[in-house]
Amino acid sequence: MATTPDTPTATPYLPPAAAGTGADVRLFCFHHAGGAASAYTGWQERLGPRVAVLPVQLPGRERRASETRFTRIDDLVADLDRHLDPLLDEPYAFYGHSMGAIVAYNLTLLRAARGASLPVRLMVGAYSPPHLLAPIADALNLDDGDLARWLVDTGGMSELVLRYPDWVRSALDLFRDDLRVCQSHRPPGDRPLPCPIDVFAGEQDPLLPLDQADGWARHTTAGCRVHTVPGGHLFLHESSAVLLRTVGLLLSDRERHHSRI
């Protein structure tokens, strides 16, 4: 794809048509375990032209279904950093949901360590602070039946899918590889980030108790806010209007130019 100053460099993580023409800030969105970039369908329309929404597609799903999936977070974020770095030369932000949150955090941590540009905001949803063991990683120990039921109970799979064993098997294979990515994360030690962190927590999320969400504050020197959202673990679907209203405000000129909160 030919590139212009307004068009991001081609990368397998984004569709060829992805562009940030005329936008004030680029928003890179990282999907949940077992999910895909389509989780962010409709975000561009809702956030408007001043935000370029760039849903990141990890390998092994949707248009990248034939590609080998990552199972270690260090390998994944190194590859993301290599491919996305040319696109991070203008103001940008990250939003990651569940697994996507810990991926976005580790990518930011890697970029901070090597002195690269950082997001104006790191927005994380539905995931425990990185110094804690996330309950999602424990699900890797469940057998197929229990894991499928766990996915249904947390909203990650429709109960109708259980009627189709081949679909269930494929979904569980994908989900287990993503869980291995989560499980491979290691606590970062004392390395707080110099960019603000916004935490989104579902009011009924069984995987992120609200009293844990503010633990993210220890991982930034630039301020942290917790935003509660109606719904459970996948509140990005259940309460998208509430979530996107807050995301839009955080990416507005007034908010994103604050270095501290």
- Check pLDDT > 90 for residue 80: yes
In the three-class reduction of DSSP (H, G, I as helix; E, B as strand; rest coil), residue 226 is classed as: strand
Predicted TM-score of the model (pTM): 0.91
- The mean pLDDT of the chain is 90
- Check pLDDT > 60 for residue 178: yes
Give the Å distances, CA to CA, from 108 to 7, 84, 103, 114, 123.
Answer: 22, 12, 9, 10, 11
- How is residue 140 written in tokens? 């890797």
d(CA 5, CA 10): 13
25 within 8 A of 91, measured Cβ to Cβ: yes
pLDDT tens track for 93-111 = 999 999 999 999 999 999 9
196 within 8 A of 122, measured Cβ to Cβ: yes
pLDDT tens track for 5-50 = 444 567 999 988 665 568 999 999 999 999 999 999 999 999 999 9
Specify the residue for token string 């220890």. Answer: 218
Domain boundaries, the chain: 25-129+190-252
The residue ranking higher by pLDDT, 9 or 220, is: 220
Would you place residue 159 in the very low, low, confident or very high pLDDT band (cuts 50, 70, 90)?
A: confident
Q: Are strands 92-97 and 51-56 parallel, antiparallel or unpaired?
A: unpaired
Q: Write out the CATH class of domain 25-129+190-252.
A: alpha beta
The residue ranking higher by pLDDT, 202 or 259, is: 202
The residue ranking higher by pLDDT, 141 or 81, is: 81
Would you place residue 256 in the very low, low, confident or very high pLDDT band (cuts 50, 70, 90)?
A: low
Give the Å distances, CA to CA, from 153 to 5, 43, 177, 232, 234.
Answer: 45, 26, 20, 10, 11
DSSP 96-161: EETHHHHHHHHHHHHHHHTT----S-EEEES---TTS--HHHHGGGS-HHHHHHHHHHHTSS-GGG
